[in-house]
Structure 1
Amino acid sequence: MPLTGERPTLIRGAHLADGRVVDVSIAGGIVTSVVPVGTAPIPTDSRSVLDLDGHLLLPATADPHAHLDKAQSWNAIRPPMGDLRAAIVSWRAYADRMTTDDIVARAHGQALRNLSQGSTAIRTHVDVLRGAQPLRGIHALVEVRDMLRGLMDIEIIALASDDIPTAVIESALDAGADGVGGAAHLAPEPLAELDRFIGIADRHDCVLDMHTDESLDEAVTLGALAERTRGWSRNVSAGHCVRLGTLEPARRDTLIAAVVASRIGIIANPITNLYLQGWDHEVATPRGLTAARQLIDAGARFAAGADNVRDPFNPLGRADALETAMLLVVAGHLDIEEAFTAVSSGAREVMALPTAGPTPGAVADLLAIKADSLIEAVAEAPAHRTVIHRGAVVSRSTTSVTYPSLTPAPEAAR
């Protein structure tokens, strides 16, 4: 989709997270200057000015771990709740009969919802399916990516289980996928399955993004992934890493040291893992979350994604990065700034995207939200937002609230 909409060259009067009120100049999709409010030259064309007085201006968010092919399928499937393997079975039964058009409709709608919330980049895992047409999901997401080109960046990871032949996975790359991944910890021979995906990524020089140790009691593949890809120049990520959050400290810290040494990116998925994990623990239910605090303190490349949205793996979720950040604070004990970094600049870094935000030289991917501070933005997640991608306004949401019965207003509110 070509960019034909609003392309401001000056953003005026925005608040930054550090409290400054600034003017931001943009040229060619890049932030060229950030100066105190009222000091930037005013363009002669008033249509080139975007007034953001009363808005907090942040880097646009990014979702490094999504499943757009599964999004919004809960109502059609109605799976049993709170069981990862039952969710897999339920999804595969539905996937056997779903059409490419069905996937396109749900994925396209969900991607636009992500965009309206502020995410201008999404890495989506897409299942390589069973049967005679295994690339239905891949073809659907390539179509969605083309439909939304210019509005947002979509990266496709071909996600395959151990019963999908290697040749079929490789054909997904030929069909337009950007990388490969799987859930080797669920395979009968986890390390052999991990090596299969490492081999595919190595041969095709593509992104490798594995679902890793997504349980409370198995630590099988994360350490092996770190060891086997240490020194790689291509992009490698590990999603979930739930077991890392429940390991005893000495073993956890040794594993984290290996992760840091390998430079693989760790992607937490709080809402889905908090939902799926721990149902069989009647008391003192453990948190289904990776060791976010320790990973950040150790210097790991760390990000977080919304993961599943109203599908068999999570019946809820808004795909709002501010929701993900909130969960990192309340469940992962990160501070507000760390949590937002994980869903913005940290997510982009793990996805190997250029730096974005209201900083000179950065890509002009920006989120303006009606809030006075970052803590207010994360706490309230105001729906009043303007989203900018490469210097173009690509989404605008406005809200209004009235209290017809509240007359006259209390003195304190006037």
Structure 2
Amino acid sequence: MSALPRIIERLTHARLADGRTVDVRLAGPVVAEVVPAGTLAAGDPDTTLELDGFLLLPAPAEPHAHLDKALSWDAIRPPMGDLRLAIDSWHAHSARMTVDDIATRARTQALTMLAHGTTAIRSHVDLLHGDDPLRGVRALVQVRDELRGLLDLELVTLGGYLTPVEDMEAALAAGVELVGGAPHLAPDPVAELHRLLAVARRHGVGVDVHTDESLDCDVTLDVLARAVLDWEVPVSAGHCVRLGTLDGPRRDQVIADVLAADVGIIANPITNLYLQGWESDVATPRGLTAVRALVDAGVRFAAGADNVRDPFNPLGRSDALETAMLLVVAGHLSVDEAYAAVSTGARDVMGLPAAGVEVGARAELLAVRGDDLVGVVATATADRYVLHRGRLVALSETHTQVAAPALLAPSYPEAR
């Protein structure tokens, strides 16, 4: 087999989530033809993928990552705990980080996500304390350039209420695309939210804000929605945990504001389930936004893994199928809805062109060994092909041996 990446022109005998088995012709970065299996004429083996036994899906997109934090758990060894404890652990460690350290971890994490099928990542990047606040920015811009052609990487500023506006603007000048922050952590969350929005408005860029990341904080999601009602740039809100704890009428009022402003909502189940509820030892509340209500209302909805093996989440498999599984068991979405949230829904919230197995769609595709979507999300088999812009950029193949049961195996003398 040719080295990666390589151009793919035909995908044959692929099963789709709706049960059809098809051949697919690609024309560079887009899908040109989808026909019943066996219809396309044989092509060059080096540009053809035979996908008999595989489910072909739109590739996942990660709408909320922290590549600058990823894989730092082993170096920090933080105590397990809630959001404030995680923030304190991270701040203590980040003062010692170098650009090379950040870039190495971020690169490793991004490539692991790519191997599992994610071909687009939006990562927040901390504006750090100290004399060189843009260390993380420079590291992630470097990684973005290195991985260009393998995956799409978009960057968002992440500063606190003490972060100078000048640092945010310097990050934008250095190549960061969106303005973000965490207004709910400020003494005056509404004032901090408007400060961030003013920076974005002044520079004509989109916004992706950490929002209401607590079970009992003041609600600012509706303030955000009303403030950007007439904006033409993309706006999204991550976490929105407080929304999941509101009573029905108040929740529905906030969701109506979100829908009117077309704000995309990004749930982060694994990290929020880990960080929230530590103070309750009976009937522990679940840290998750109002997933079911948001989807039912027609809000543009996505879900991400957020933190992976850092003080904010010690675990994580860097696999969108894990996020989809958690949306089913913790958020009560159907499997189809959950996979949409980590693929087509994520791309929509991120403002990316539509992708999938449809004529004219971008050839951002994931083939996973399996017969149907429920089985694929349940087992998350490692056998996968990943296509980005019509090129094969990752493949994984596994080999398994299991001893035969005693009734099927040859008989051997008992060990003594």
Q: Per the shorter chain, which TM-score range? A: over 0.9
Task: Specify the alignment match of 1:156 in structure 2.
Answer: 155
CA deviation vs aligned residue, 1:134-166 (integer Å, no higher than 9, x gap) = 000000000000110000000000111111100
> 2:87 matched to 1:88?
yes
Cα distance in 1, alignment partners of residues 118 and 404 from structure 2: 37
Task: Specify the alignment match of 2:223 in structure 1.
Answer: 224
Task: Specify the alignment match of 1:385 in structure 2.
Answer: 384
Residues 83-162 of structure 1 correspond to what in structure 2 (within 5 A)?
83-162=82-161
Displacement, 1:190? 0.7
Amino acid at match of 1:27: A
Residues 315-394 of structure 1 correspond to what in structure 2 (within 5 A)?
315-394=314-393
- SS of the residue corresponding to residue 150 of structure 1 reads coil
Displacement, 1:207? 1.9
Q: CA distance change for structure 1 residues 409 and 38 in 2, over 3 Å: closer, same or farther?
A: farther
CA deviation vs aligned residue, 1:6-26 (integer Å, no higher than 9, x gap) = 211110000000000100000
Amino acid at match of 1:209: D
Residues 291-310 of structure 1 correspond to what in structure 2 (within 5 A)?
291-310=290-309
Displacement, 1:41? 2.7
Cα distance in 1, alignment partners of residues 384 and 195 from structure 2: 43
- SS of the residue corresponding to residue 324 of structure 1 reads helix
Task: Specify the alignment match of 1:78 in structure 2.
Answer: 77
Task: Specify the alignment match of 2:412 in structure 1.
Answer: none
- SS of the residue corresponding to residue 337 of structure 2 reads helix
Amino acid at match of 1:91: W
Cα distance in 1, alignment partners of residues 323 and 237 from structure 2: 17
Displacement, 1:244? 0.4
Displacement, 1:220? 2.6
Task: Specify the alignment match of 2:250 in structure 1.
Answer: 251
Task: Specify the alignment match of 1:38 in structure 2.
Answer: 38
The answer as to whether partners of 1:219 and 1:244 remain within 8 angstroms in 2 is no
The answer as to whether partners of 1:270 and 1:288 remain within 8 angstroms in 2 is yes
Q: CA distance change for structure 1 residues 4 and 333 in 2, over 3 Å: closer, same or farther?
A: closer
Displacement, 1:29? 1.1
The answer as to whether partners of 2:4 and 2:392 remain within 8 angstroms in 1 is no
The answer as to whether partners of 1:210 and 1:237 remain within 8 angstroms in 2 is yes
Amino acid at match of 1:366: L
The answer as to whether partners of 1:190 and 1:220 remain within 8 angstroms in 2 is no
Cα distance in 2, alignment partners of residues 50 and 224 from structure 1: 49
Cα distance in 2, alignment partners of residues 113 and 46 from structure 1: 27
Task: Specify the alignment match of 1:28 in structure 2.
Answer: 28
Cα distance in 1, alignment partners of residues 241 and 85 from structure 2: 18
- SS of the residue corresponding to residue 197 of structure 2 reads helix
Q: TM-score, normalised by structure 2?
A: 0.96
- SS of the residue corresponding to residue 182 of structure 1 reads coil
Displacement, 1:409? 4.3
Cα distance in 2, alignment partners of residues 84 and 101 from structure 1: 27
Task: Specify the alignment match of 2:413 in structure 1.
Answer: none
Displacement, 1:219? 3.3
Where do 5+ consecutive residues of structure 2 fail to align?
410-416
- SS of the residue corresponding to residue 124 of structure 2 reads strand
Amino acid at match of 1:41: A
CA deviation vs aligned residue, 1:54-111 (integer Å, no higher than 9, x gap) = 0000000000000000000011112221211111111011111100000000000000
Cα distance in 2, alignment partners of residues 11 and 188 from structure 1: 55
Amino acid at match of 2:206: V
Task: Specify the alignment match of 2:11 in structure 1.
Answer: 11
Displacement, 1:130? 1.1
Q: CA distance change for structure 1 residues 79 and 5 in 2, over 3 Å: closer, same or farther?
A: closer
- SS of the residue corresponding to residue 119 of structure 1 reads coil
The answer as to whether partners of 1:13 and 1:52 remain within 8 angstroms in 2 is yes
Instruction: Give percent identity, aligned residues only.
Output: 60
The answer as to whether partners of 2:5 and 2:394 remain within 8 angstroms in 1 is no
Amino acid at match of 1:289: L
Cα distance in 2, alignment partners of residues 351 and 92 from structure 1: 28
CA deviation vs aligned residue, 1:295-342 (integer Å, no higher than 9, x gap) = 011110100000000000000011210000000000000000000000
Cα distance in 2, alignment partners of residues 284 and 105 from structure 1: 41
- SS of the residue corresponding to residue 22 of structure 1 reads strand
Cα distance in 2, alignment partners of residues 146 and 409 from structure 1: 54
Cα distance in 2, alignment partners of residues 409 and 381 from structure 1: 28
Cα distance in 2, alignment partners of residues 82 and 226 from structure 1: 31
Cα distance in 2, alignment partners of residues 170 and 26 from structure 1: 40
Displacement, 1:405? 5.0
Task: Specify the alignment match of 1:178 in structure 2.
Answer: 177
- SS of the residue corresponding to residue 289 of structure 1 reads coil
Amino acid at match of 1:119: T
The answer as to whether partners of 1:213 and 1:243 remain within 8 angstroms in 2 is yes
Displacement, 1:404? 4.0
Displacement, 1:281? 1.1
Cα distance in 1, alignment partners of residues 162 and 352 from structure 2: 32
- SS of the residue corresponding to residue 368 of structure 1 reads strand
CA RMSD of aligned residues (A): 1.2
Displacement, 1:400? 1.2
The answer as to whether partners of 2:304 and 2:323 remain within 8 angstroms in 1 is yes
The answer as to whether partners of 1:104 and 1:140 remain within 8 angstroms in 2 is yes
- SS of the residue corresponding to residue 377 of structure 2 reads helix
